Copies of this chain bind each other. A is one copy, B any other.
Amino acid sequence: MGELDIRPAVAGDVPAIVAMLADDPLGAQRESPDDLTPYLHALKRVSSDPNQHLVVAVRDGRVVGTLQLTIIPGLSRMGATRSIIEAVRIHADERGSGLGTQLIEWAVDESRRHDCQLVQLTSDATRTDAHRFYERLGFQASHVGFKRQL
């Protein structure tokens, strides 16, 4: 396999990102890969916010992974800045290749670079394989994640 490059996502990556978001038991129900317009608008919002880091992992010219890292300053924990990882996806062809680990470790390194004291994420309760993966990477399943649709 060729070298991996992790870099900020640009508009030309959106079809590949959306295809990965949709190629997933949960994502298949909530994405619309046939109409990229809302995703391109969303990319503009993400790219104009300096605390958002939406990246793609590229190997041999192909987008094979993505995640979004958000930096959040706050007062709790003695004024700690934390980061949140969202929307982690690995292309089906690359699962088991160690790419997930590389992407998460990239996010951890980037969080340290932004002086974060804590990295956090939530994972759907049904994704038990993902839970084991995060625990192997040193994450603790200490919290319950709540969501309310608007």
User: Which residue numbers of A lie inside 8 Å of B, CB to CB?
Assistant: 14, 17-18, 21, 27, 30-32, 38-39, 41-43, 45-46, 49, 51-52, 54, 68, 70, 72-81, 84, 86-87, 108, 111-112, 116-125, 131, 134-135, 137-150
Contacts of A139 in B (CB 8 A): 146-148
| Closest Cβ neighbor of A81 among chain B residues | B45
Complex CA gap A52/B105 in Å reads 26
Complex Cα distance A47/B59, Å?
39
A121 — nearest CB in chain B belongs to which residue? B146
CB pair B75–A39 under 8 Å, yes or no, is: yes
B residues less than 8 Å from A32 (CB atoms): 78
